[in-house]
Amino acid sequence: MATPSISVCLISGAEAQRIASALKSVAEWTQEIILVLNEEVEDETETIAREFGAKVFREKWKGHVEQKNSASNKAAGDWILAIDEDEVVSSELRKEIEILFQTPGRLAPYTGFSFPRCSYYCGRWIRHGDWYPDRKLRLWRRGQARWQGINPHDEVAAEGRIGKLRGQLLHYGTGTIEDQMKKMVTYADIFTQGYICGERRVSYFDLLFRPLWRFVRGFFFKLGFLDGWQGLTISWMTTFYTFLRYFKAFEAQHQARNLKTSTPSKERVELPASHNIERK
Residue segments in the chain with a per-residue pLDDT below the cut of 50: 267-280
Rounded to whole angstroms, the Cα distance separating 182 from 15 reads 17
Length of the chain (residues): 280
Is 191 found in the same domain as 149? no
Distances (CA, A) of 38 to 22, 26, 58, 209, 241: 17, 21, 6, 37, 26
| 83 & 128 share domain | yes
Residue 269 within a domain: no
Contact 151, 65 (CB under 8 A): yes
Q: Which of 142, 171, 200 is the last residue of a domain?
A: 171
Q: Are 112 and 163 in contact (CB under 8 A)?
A: yes
At residue 264, the pLDDT reads 58
Q: Are 34 and 71 in contact (CB under 8 A)?
A: yes
Q: What is the dihedral of CA 168, 84, 43, 32, to 10 degrees?
A: 90
Query: What is the per-residue pLDDT for 195?
Result: 67
117 and 236 share one domain: no
Q: What is the pLDDT of residue 87?
A: 98
Same domain, 47 and 164: yes
Which residues form the domain of 248?
177-262
Tell me whether residue 136 is in a domain: yes
- 274 CB neighbour count, 10 Å cutoff: 5
Contact predicate 168/118, CB 8 Å? yes
Residue 280 forms part of a structural domain: no
- Dist. CA 125–CA 89, nearest whole Å: 15
> What's the pLDDT score for residue 197?
65
Domain end point (choices 134, 149, 171): 171
Q: Is residue 1 part of a domain?
A: no
Q: What is the pTM of this model?
A: 0.84
Of the candidates 112, 138, 171, which is a domain's last residue? 171
23 part of a folded domain: yes
Instruction: Give the number of domains in the chain.
Output: 2
Give the Cα separation of 219 and 234 in Å (integer): 9
Residues 167 and 185 in one domain: no
CATH code of the domain covering residue 130: 3.90.550.10
Q: What is the pLDDT of residue 196?
A: 66
